Amino acid sequence: MGVTVEIVNKDQLATLRALCLDTFTETYGSQNTKSNLENYLETNFNHSQLKNELDNPQSEYYFVKVDGTIAGYLKVNVGDAQTEIKEQNGLEIERIYVSKAYQGQRLGQALFEKAMERAWFHKTTFLWLGVWDQNTNAIGFYERNGFKTFDTHVFQLGDEMQTDLMMKLELV
Ligand SMILES: CC(C)(COP(=O)(O)OP(=O)(O)OC[C@H]1O[C@@H](n2cnc3c(N)ncnc32)[C@H](O)[C@@H]1OP(=O)(O)O)[C@@H](O)C(=O)NCCC(=O)NCCS
Q: What is the pLDDT of residues 27-53, one digit of tens each?
A: 999 988 999 899 999 999 999 999 999
User: pLDDT category, 1, cuts 50, 70, 90?
Assistant: low
pTM: 0.96
C-alpha 149 to ligand 1 mean position (Å): 17
Q: Is 103 among the domain residues?
A: yes
Q: Is 33 among the domain residues?
A: yes
- Separation of alpha carbons 157 and 11, rounded Å: 30
Instruction: Judge contact between 97 and 70, C-beta under 8 A.
Output: no
Contacts of 104 (CB under 8 A, 6+ apart): none
In this model, does residue 172 exceed pLDDT 80? Answer: yes
Q: Is 77 among the domain residues?
A: yes
C-beta of 27 in contact with ligand 1 (< 6 A):
yes
User: pLDDT category, 23, cuts 50, 70, 90?
Assistant: very high
- Separation of alpha carbons 146 and 85, rounded Å: 20
C-beta of 106 in contact with ligand 1 (< 6 A):
yes
**Residues annotated as part of the active site:** 142
pLDDT averaged over the chain? 96
Q: How far apart are the first and last CA of the chain?
A: 34
Q: Which atom of ligand 1 is nearest to the CA of 93?
A: 48
In this model, does residue 101 exceed pLDDT 70? Answer: yes
Q: Is 138 among the domain residues?
A: no
Q: Which domain holds residue 86?
A: 3-123
C-beta of 100 in contact with ligand 1 (< 6 A):
no
